[in-house]
Amino acid sequence: MELVLEASEVSKKFGGKIALDGVSFNVPRGSTFGIIGRNGAGKTTLIKLILGFLRPTDGKLKVIGGRPGENFARIGYLPEFSNYHPLFTGREYIMYLAEMSGLKSHAAASRTEELLEMTSMAGEASNRRMANYSKGMLQKIGIAQALLNFPEFVVLDEPFSGLDPFAQKELRDIIASLKNKGATVLICSHILSHLEKICDAVAVINKGRIIRHGDMASLLVSRGRYRLQVDKAPARLLGDLIEKRDLAPADDGAYIIEEKIPGGKEAILKTLIDSGASINGLAEARKTLDEFFNSAVSGRDGE
Ligand SMILES: Nc1ncnc2c1ncn2[C@@H]1O[C@H](COP(=O)(O)OP(=O)(O)OP(=O)(O)O)[C@@H](O)[C@H]1O
Ligand SMILES: [Mg+2]
């Protein structure tokens, strides 16, 4: 498995303040990797180290097989905060970057149109000065510039920030299409419901340390918990099972079986079947990424 990013025992101190403390993880080529953590946990610092804007105090980073900064032209980057030249229009700005990156004016113009279309910025707003843009419009231009030269590694720091729900969904689709084309994507975001849908793996950073990481499916499995869909069960029996904490009602009319001992769920199912109930579905329950994150960091301060 080829790795696009390898972080080994990476630490970063700002004066006496430890922003990252022995962070190790790998990002395989073609995967979408999420980094989550509370404000000040160290996510943006990690991204700046990956890009080579900061140097680690300790540890090693290998990015597309080289040192951070070495393969910069193969990376697309959306910063957390951007400063654009206010007198450019959005279209002029992307065009300017396209020409700077070496495209001849015809190719630069067509790539600019493509990117403006992709980020829904091709309309009238693209010809207004960026000084007058809304936050979401600036964010869309930021996304467009990050994707300009078909990067094989895309690093997005809070990409959903300022986007309306419609534009957030569009961005999810853009990220999915990057993945389909083989790009590797690293995303920091607080919008966990989106990361849950788009990421293959995730790392939780807390106070500069990775406290949990792994592939999404295995992190979200909730061992010993099953979702049960049941019909025609006597209300009294359901009440009893809920009182004994064998079952808990879920929001959508289903129930969660809390298996306390091996074989516990079979016993519960048997009781239900014997009472004449029909079982319409049984599946391993999954936590949401939000639930997983909250339990991972609960009781721990953010910074
Ligand atoms: N240049 C710097 N000089 C001093 N301290 C810094 C610097 N950059 C970051 N820090 C500190 O490092 C810690 C991590 O900051 P970082 O920006 O990486 O957090 P974050 O996880 O991205 O937070 P957020 O979710 O709010 O974006 C914070 O305590 C921050 O104050
Ligand atoms: Mg940040």
Domain residue spans of the chain:
3-206, 222-286
Please enumerate in sequence order all residues whose Cβ is within 8 A of that of 24, keeping only pairs 6 or more positions apart, or say none.
7, 8, 9, 10, 59, 210
- Residue nearest to ligand 1 atom 2, measured at CA: 14
Kindly state if the Cβ of 37 falls inside 6 Å of ligand 1. Answer: yes
Kindly state if the Cβ of 59 falls inside 6 Å of ligand 1. Answer: no
**How far is ligand 1, taken at its centre, from the CA of residue 205, in Å?**
12
**How far is ligand 1, taken at its centre, from the CA of residue 19, in Å?**
7
**How far is ligand 1, taken at its centre, from the CA of residue 44, in Å?**
7
**Would the CATH topology of 3-206 be identical to that of 222-286?**
no
- Residue nearest to ligand 1 atom 31, measured at CA: 40
pLDDT of residue 53: 96
Closest CA to 159 of 134, 117, 189, 179: 189
pLDDT of residue 264: 87
Domain spanning 222-286 has what CATH number?
3.30.70
- How would you write the pLDDT of the chain (303 residues) with one tens digit per residue? 899 999 999 999 999 999 999 999 999 999 999 999 999 999 999 999 999 999 999 999 999 999 999 998 999 999 999 888 889 999 999 999 999 999 999 999 999 999 999 999 999 999 999 999 999 999 999 999 999 999 999 999 999 999 999 999 999 999 999 999 999 999 999 999 999 999 999 999 999 999 999 999 999 988 888 999 999 999 999 999 999 888 999 888 899 998 888 888 999 999 999 999 999 999 988 889 999 999 999 866 555
Find out if CATH 3.40.50.300 is the number for domain 3-206: yes
Taking each helix axis from N to C end, the angle separating 90-100 and 135-146, rounded to the nearest 10 degrees, works out to 20
Kindly state if the Cβ of 39 falls inside 6 Å of ligand 1. Answer: yes
Ligand nearest to the Cα of 208, by number? 1
Ligand nearest to the Cα of 156, by number? 2
Q: How far apart are the first and last CA of the chain?
A: 34
